[in-house]
Structure 1
Amino acid sequence: MTSSDTDATGFSFIDAKAGSPAASVFTVDATGGTTITAGGLSVGGGVTVSNTGLTVSGGGASITGGITAVDTGVTVTTGGARIYDTSTTADTLKVKNTATGTFSGALLSLDTGTLTSGFSLISAGVAGGSPKFSVAASGLTTIAAGGLSVTGGVTITNTGLTVTTGGASITDTGTATSTLTLTNSAGTFDKALLSMDSTATSGFSLINAMVGGTPQFTVAAGGATTIASGGLSIKGGVTVVDTGVTVSAGDVLISSNTQSAATNSGALVVTGGVGIGRDLRCAGTIYGTVVTTPSDRRLKTTIQDLSSSQEIIRQLHPVTYEWRRDQFPSRNFPGGVFHGFLADEVEQILPDLVEEDADGWKSLNYVGIVPHLVRAVQEMQGQLEASQVHLTRMQHQIDALLAARA
């Protein structure tokens, strides 16, 4: 130990050496700077650093009773700093700023001298296990367990958000804003606001939108889209390029009132054919080059000849008429004079040819009258032929009488 009353520098108040050759392990220089080069420091009653801070150059520091840095803080140049705590109620590390005015720094600042990669800014583990929360040198943050709960919102300004395991769940109790809003403010944007992909190819749903636990809108892995309720309203047209459209329940409504003047115009234009498994009702004119109905003998049973149709045809009452367009505008009746029958009257003669809908309106199967017309013509043809035979016989008799008299 050396001391001086006049010298201000160049000496040590304390220079404790050990070993052979002797090496300093504890020194206090002329400025008061204290250096512990080996063995560490164990403090039981607390340490107060009031000016230039505390520098530990090797071996680390072990402090039991706490440390207070009043001015320039604590600097550990080699060996790192560790905080060991056995308390069950107090925070192991608490960082607090007591400035009464403004504070523009950081409560906790992490930095490296020169390194830019290969290390972690934060690596938080539990019971010595693998990290549960880590921040890599690049800033990549990994939450290995427990998920993420955010109250004040999340803003991601660059490479987006990636969740590798466990999925992402957004739970919202707000009533005034959307639970999830996707916005791209770029002037030019040619990607997707929402992009979904999976390594698996089947057995899952791309979208499963539920209300009260019941699916309302789903998109399967194969792209099949199911709307369980509410229907589908589309503005701008629909193009189906592959397997077509299948409606398994409910109706398909086309509300456009565009008239059809040709095969390529109207509210619904079909380039190919149309197959209809049940009835077709039309409030306007049906136009076609050929109309056929099933008539194969193999499809029919209880086949009987029409015995007589002349009386039926005689009772029919052909009329001309005009539709009551003003009283029934929704039926889109055409204007002009038409020829036909009254279903109410035909029902009294040929009830099988008349149908009545749920509202009591009657319709007539005009094609069903054709067999009776044919049968009536056949009957008249038979009668005409019989009359012709009778007239021929009478003519022969007349000719014979005239010949005998001559």
Structure 2
Amino acid sequence: VGIGTPTPRALLDVGGLTPVNPSPLALFGSNINAASSIEISNKSSAANADSRIIMYDDAASSSTLNIVQPSTGHTGGALLGIPRATSSFIFANGSRDFGIGTVSARSFILGTANAERVRINSGGDLIATAGGAKFASFTGATFNNAATAAFVASAVKVGVAIQSTSSWTGSGATNTGLTVDVAGAPTNYAAVFSGGNVGIGTAAPAYKLDVQGGDINASGSVRANGVALSSDIRWKRDIEPVTNAGTRLGQLRGVTYYWRRDEFPKKAFGPERQLGLIAQDVEKVFPEAVISDREGFKAVNYPALIAPVIEAIKDLFQRSDAGEKELIALRQRQADLERQFFEFKQISDRRTQAAEAEISRLKESMKPRAQQHVSAKGIGSNL
């Protein structure tokens, strides 16, 4: 059937233009100042009433729906446009660009109010825009699921890179390279500042890494040139001395050990031989130095043991000082006794010498009497 042509080239040929390929149904027109259209409508209000265009084919390599740009004429318009108000809601052109909510499609574009919001360009980059200007660019990003977004890179490539293509603007260190917060929250939960400071739990980090509001947990070793612990007396109350420190320390045992790495792979324990204490032993005598996690596993706060060690050393010094004083007293007593003994010996020696002299004198004084007695005895015998 031909309408407007004596030589129809299809079962229904409207317009008379020669199609490139014969088709069962062809609608052609020229010099038409209004939009060419096919209108299919169903004004029934029945529940199952609808309007459909059903297309199918049995050929393995053919297209069910093929919208092509003609080889001549204007090529700047849309191949497929679903209008909404004064702008296209869905747009596709001959450059293989596709857009939703915009008529200025470049690659794949999502937009609102006829303005570009999200674009996937020909290089595979995902670009999000704010107000039509470039807002963020995600290259090689992978979103794992609806709950979390992860940026996964192949080997030896950056997973997440945050940089500025030009100099920072603003007041120097107040500019953030990475900020993580919760909508409506008055402070940031994590921030990396251009000055080099990183804050977690604070928006004003005073150090290269400033963590506030919680503990830091690491499955591996923490390496540092020094550690400073908060100890200002203005932060403390109910201060009491550590008692019986030496006795309590004597109940602890220093041990060597290896980690059970195969049973706890997530802890990333090292294979080296370790030196330390058993948390359960410490908890019995110094419970303040032991921390338990949510699963009940215990950790020793080794710096906390410095306090009882200091008190034990002080006690040893006090005992040593007392012993030194007692030893000095004993030595003084010994010196006194030696001096008294020396004086007594001198007196004894003098008395001994005097006694010996007196004995000698008596012996000498008794010699004449003895001789006289002997002489008298001799005379008597002669008589």
What TM-score, normalized to structure 2?
0.49
Q: When the two structures are superposed, what TM-score results if normalisation uses the length of structure 1?
A: 0.46
Higher RCO structure (Cα 8 Å, ≥6 apart): 1
Select the structure of larger CA radius of gyration.
2
